[in-house]
Amino acid sequence: MHRIEREDAPEFTFEFEGEPLTAREGDTVAAALLANNHRSLRTTAVTGEPRGPFCMMGVCFECLVEIDGVANRQACMTEAQSGMKVRRQLGANDLGKGPSFDDDEGASS
Amino acid sequence: MKDHYQIAIIGAGPAGMAAATIAAKHGASVLLLDEQPHAGGQIYRAVKRQSIKDRDVLGADYYVGRGLVTELDDSAVKHITGATVWQVSPEREIGISKDGVAWLVTADQVILATGAQERPFPIPGWTLPGVMNAGAAQVLLKSSGVASPDAVFVGTGPLLYLVAYQYMRAGIPIRAILDTTPKSNMLRALPHLPAALTNLGALLKGQRWIKQLHAKSMPFIKDVEDVRLIGEDAISKVEYRRAGQWQHIETTQVFLHQGVVPNVNLAMAAGCEHTWNDIQLCWRAETNAWGETNMPGIAIAGDGITIAGARAAEFRGRITGYGALVRCGLMNAAERDRQAQPFQSALNGELRMRPFLDAMFRPPRQFRIPEDDATIVCRCEEVTAGKIRESVTLGCLGPNQLKSFSRCGMGPCQGRFCGLTSLEIIAETRGVPVEAIEAMRLRAPVKPLMLSELASLSAEPELTD
């Protein structure tokens, strides 16, 4: 996906999987990730299939990501903020380890 | 922070905004709750921000919403954005969550204006990254000016053509439009055409979108009979069948659409009665002329009742707002009737076109009830059409038993993207009408809630305007 001409909105940087990405004021996390061509944001708990944003209106829960250490945040309902750290969620969460994924489990793709 | 209001309204789309401003104007204390960061709902999303310079891209109908948002901004309505409503109890206790904190308020009158969502489009590969709803394409365009230069639009219905038309106006290339409208729909729609002609302007507008899309040098493929979406880590190819022949288009983006259906989760969980709407193939809330349901003090406005579009939602919002004012003792019935009359006439005008649109864009069976057993129906729990049919042969009677058989409908979306499909599969497999099947029981919390949010219920949040 790409941006078409729009009113000047201030740009800022946030992180996805440790990589700095540019977002514009007013973007949701999902919109900012799609604008940077990240379509796949997690793998499913049952079969490990890849998934990404689908409805963009908070209904389908496909765009769940970890934001600043909190898992299961809806990327399409959360406004992107400067310095935000966003991570993929891979498979089912391990209840024994708390809400965050460890680095060695979450960084691949 | 107040914990009681005369009127609480859930959803700040056209219906919710219209109801809220009418109620506040006549002296009610009004709370308006909405999940989005700005008022407007999906249809008028980000309408005051204008993310795209050229106003012709989104069109004049979109900017109509500015009036409603301005009216709301100038009113005494207490509007809380970014707030998820996870419960409306029969006693009208409303559970709200915002920024990780949950709290409860009560209201004498509640108006549910939760609008519509897109109908599920269960075809092979619809869960692949890069496959989204056409409504999602429009959200990206409206709020961020983000678009795909490689999109294949698949489906039927006004929103599909509108979003493709908006792409065209923005100069974004479209790979193809695959139209799944069955030819036979035209015959069924024809008897409703005279009534629809009373709203000639709207009909001609739709026709203009389609004509201009046809004139564009891209494939506009009609009478598509079947579609499969192919890919490994993301969508890479669309296969489609037309006149018995399979063909394909390579692409990185697909937008699906086959109509919208009421968002019923909150209303059903509150105990509001619903019946099967065989014309729109979804649930319909049972409401009277003032939007009142069987639950005392709970009314519904807008597309949450039946699908009628943005302008109708606005008029229904006004009418429902007047109804609530009478029940609060802030207006007498005669004054209500007098003031609501022009909105009732305008609503009737909007409704005259619906039977034609409903028949013309009725999604065909093969795109509602997947033939291929491997097609995923419940996206959250990854339950296939085959698993649902197998459950029925083992004695599963309806969606509630299906939860025990398969977990279908038990994921975070709570049946929003599988409920209608599983219902129709069960009815067909059992050989009974949908009306004969008990609806999926929906319960609070209707949106997932963190334990820490529940734990915060005892504390009073400090919210500023």
| Cβ–Cβ gap B382/A47 under 8 Å | yes
How many other CB atoms are there within 10 angstroms of residue B246's CB atom?
Answer: 11
pLDDT in tens, A78-102: 999 999 999 999 988 766 555 554 4
Q: What element of type H or E holds A22?
A: strand A19-24
Is B132 close to A35, i.e. CB distance below 8 A? no
Q: Domain residues of chain A, as ranges? A: 11-89
Give the nearest chain B residue to A44 (CA atoms): B380
Q: In this structure, which topology does domain A11-89 adopt according to CATH?
A: Ubiquitin-like (UB roll) (3.10.20)
Closest chain A residue by Cα to residue B126: A54
382-411 in chain B: CB under 8 A from chain A: 382, 411
Chain B: nearest CA to A86, how far in angstroms?
A: 17
* Separation CA B148–CA B151 (nearest Å): 6
pTM of the model: 0.94
* Element of type H or E holding A35: helix A29-35
Give the residue numbers in A contacting B (CB under 8 Å), as ranges.
Answer: 1-7, 9, 24, 26-28, 31-32, 34-35, 39-41, 44, 46-47, 49-62, 64, 72, 76-77, 79
Q: Indicate the pLDDT class of residue A108, thresholds 50, 70 and 90.
A: very low
pLDDT the model gives residue A109: 39
Contacts of A8 (CB under 8 A, 6+ apart): none
Please count the other Cβ atoms lying within 10 Å of the Cβ belonging to residue B119: 25
Contact B133 A54 (CB under 8 A): yes
Contacts of B387 in chain A (CB under 8 A): none
> What are residue B460's phi and psi, to 5 degrees?
-85, 125
- What is the 8-class DSSP label of residue A28? B
Residue contacts between A and B (CB atoms, under 8 Å): 132
Cβ atoms < 10 Å from Cβ of A3: 17
Delineate the domains of chain B, giving CATH numbers in brackets. Answer: 4-117+261-331 (3.50.50.60), 120-258 (3.50.50.60), 369-436 (1.10.10.1100)
Q: Cα angle at B106 between B102 and B109, to 5 degrees?
A: 135
Three-state SS for chain B is CCCEEEEEEECCCHHHHHHHHHHHHCCCCEEEECCCCCCCCCCCCCCCCCCCCCCCCCCHHHHCHHHHHHHHHCCCCEEECCCEEEEECCCCEEEEEECCEEEEEEEEEEEECCCEEECCCCCCCCCCCCEEEHHHHHHHHHHHCEECCCEEEEEECHHHHHHHHHHHHCCCCEEEEEECCCCHHHHHHHHHHHHHHHHHHHHHHHHHHHHHHHHCCCCEECCEEEEEEEECCCEEEEEEEECCEEEEEECCEEEEEECEEECCHHHHHCCCCEEEECCCCEEEECCCCCCECCCCCEEECHHHCCCCCHHHHHHHHHHHHHHHHHHCCCCCHHHHHHHHHHHHHHHHHHHCCHHHHHHHCCCCHHHHCCCCCCCEEECCCCEEHHHHHHHHHCCCCCHHHHHHHHCCCCCCCCCCCCHHHHHHHHHHHHCCCHHHCCCCCCCCCCCCCCHHHHHHHHCCCCCCC
What whole-number distance in Å separates Cα of residue B447 and Cα of residue B84? 8
Please report the pLDDT score of residue A4 as a whole number: 81
Would you tell me which residues 254-313 of chain B have a C-beta closer than 8 angstroms to some C-beta of chain A?
263
> Digits of tens for pLDDT over chain B (465 positions)?
579 999 999 999 999 999 999 999 999 999 999 999 999 999 998 888 766 777 788 888 888 899 999 999 999 999 999 999 999 999 999 999 998 899 999 999 999 999 999 999 999 999 999 999 999 999 999 889 999 999 999 999 999 999 999 999 999 999 999 999 999 999 999 999 999 998 888 889 888 999 999 888 789 999 999 999 999 999 999 999 999 999 999 999 999 999 999 999 999 999 999 999 999 999 999 999 999 999 999 999 999 999 999 999 999 999 999 999 999 999 999 999 999 999 999 999 999 999 999 999 999 999 999 999 999 999 999 999 999 999 999 999 999 999 999 999 999 999 999 999 999 999 999 999 999 999 999 999 999 998 989 888 865 555 555
Of the partner residues A44, A56, A61, the one whose CB lies closest to the CB of residue B140: A56
